[in-house]
Amino acid sequence: MTQLAWWPGPGVPPGPVHARVASAAIVDHERWVVHPGHRLDLGSVDPSSTPGAPGDRATTEAALSALIAQLAALQDRLWAEARRSLLVVLQAIDAGGKDGTIKHVFRGVNPQGTRVASFKVPTPEEQAHDFLWRVHRQAPAAGEIAIFNRSHYEDVLVTRVHGTIGAEEWQRRYAIIRDFEAALVAEGTTIVKLMLHISRDEQWSRLLERVDRPDKRWKMQPSDFAERRHWDDYQRAYEDAITATSTKEAPWRVVPANHKWYRDWAVSTILVGVLDEMGPRYPEPGDIGDFRAHQ
């Protein structure tokens, strides 16, 4: 049975140190977690469900505005503190909403401290190195939020589905990924891994929308339609990869994403909750008296 339920939060009360956000965000952000050691069954997760939403679409969209402001404030402290970093890993089937999530959730953050890295088909140079070579180079620097639009998980998903690697190799890569992420965490990077879960019917609707709408057509790739033939294979590959790599240091969260308004609220809630628990602080000022002496 899939464990997409509550991990108890730290229970730290609000205080003046870093101005914790509303307690609801602190609690709710763990409801989507896939607990380490538990088998993920995507079939048991309704992609049209809206667990924890504050209400209907209008109510939830209204709540999103406050979350966007909270995310901007927390990111500003993280950037100013310049000691730790946040890595957001977005994975989804084609048309799953990765671009839309970035566009809507991160619209209020400071571009100076935020960076998006997209991982497409490896170049010849990238293929000449180990599969994490191009990924490690994009890890966030101190103070940054880095967003992976697709990620190192492509190398245990697409490669598996298309038979580029076999079971022994993808199992080996799971272990390498776990070690890689543990190393990032040990060096001060918090990792938020999000699988945006949509249904096959919703994907078809979104792909057709790309055909019909000029403002969406630029995103259309013939391969998107061809990959639909492998839907079941991708579901199994996601289940295995998430089950194998959801760890205490870097757990996965599965977000029902058929409703874009819910997806944006859920992802924002998760990020605000995680950053709030990180508790970034503005650096303490130097001795003001020294500066005033030079007036």
- Which residues, in sequence order, are bridge partners of residue 254? 195
Residue 28 lies in a domain: yes
Alpha-carbon distances, residue 212 vs 122, 205, 218 (angstroms):
30, 11, 11
Tell me, yes or no, whether 206 lies in a domain: yes
State pLDDT tens for residues 264-291: 999 999 999 999 999 999 998 765 455 5
Structural domain contains residue 31: yes
Can you tell me the distance from the alpha carbon of 187 to that of 143, in angstroms, rounded to the nearest whole number? 13
Is 63 part of any domain? Answer: yes
| CATH number, domain containing residue 237 | 3.40.50.300
Share of the chain above pLDDT 70, in %: 85
Confirm whether 294 is domain-assigned. no
Span 252-257, average pLDDT: 98
Average pLDDT, the chain: 87
173's tokens: 């890569």
- pLDDT tens per residue, range 216-240: 666 667 777 778 899 999 999 999 9
State percent of the chain over pLDDT 90: 76
Count of all residues that appear for the chain in the document? 295
What is the pLDDT averaged over residues 104-127? 93
Residue 74 resides in a domain:
yes
Tell which wins on pLDDT, 25 or 37.
37
In a domain, residue 293? The reply is no
Whether residue 295 is contained in a domain is answered as no
When pLDDT is cut at 50, 70 and 90, the band that residue 93 belongs to is very high
User: E-strand spans in the chain?
Assistant: 4-5, 33-34, 85-92, 114-118, 145-149, 189-197, 252-256
Give the number of domains in the chain: 1
